[in-house]
Amino acid sequence: TVLEGAFPSEVKDVRPAGTRARLAQILHKQGRSSEAVEVLRKALEEYEESLGKEHPQTLNCARNLAVLLKQSLPAGSTAGTAARLREAEALLKRAASGYAKV
């Protein structure tokens, strides 16, 4: 079936990654963006480990992390700001490239 192809039996449980991704959304809405970024980074790692780097759910998480990184930039221009922007850009490019393959 389609689901079996998307989630082969050797795939690890993705529920923790999904739970972390939802928690990151809640933290962001509460104004706790720095915590949300770290939680979403962990979710992305878990998606990569369980589904692979090119799976649509992994790509969605990468895109969401990129958006969150950009939205939670500190005020003023700093070296940290530039690093976050580079990370966000790399994540967006990765997601776009992956979507093009799907």
75: number of Cβ within 10 Å = 6
In this structure, what token pair is assigned to residue 1? 């079936």
pTM of the model: 0.83
Beta-carbon-side half-sphere exposure of residue 3 (alpha carbons within 13 Å): 0
In this structure, what token pair is assigned to residue 79? 């070296």
Q: What is the average pLDDT value for the chain, to the nearest integer?
A: 88
pLDDT in tens, 39-68: 999 999 999 999 999 999 999 999 999 999
Query: 6 Cβ partners below 8 Å, 6+ apart?
Result: 55
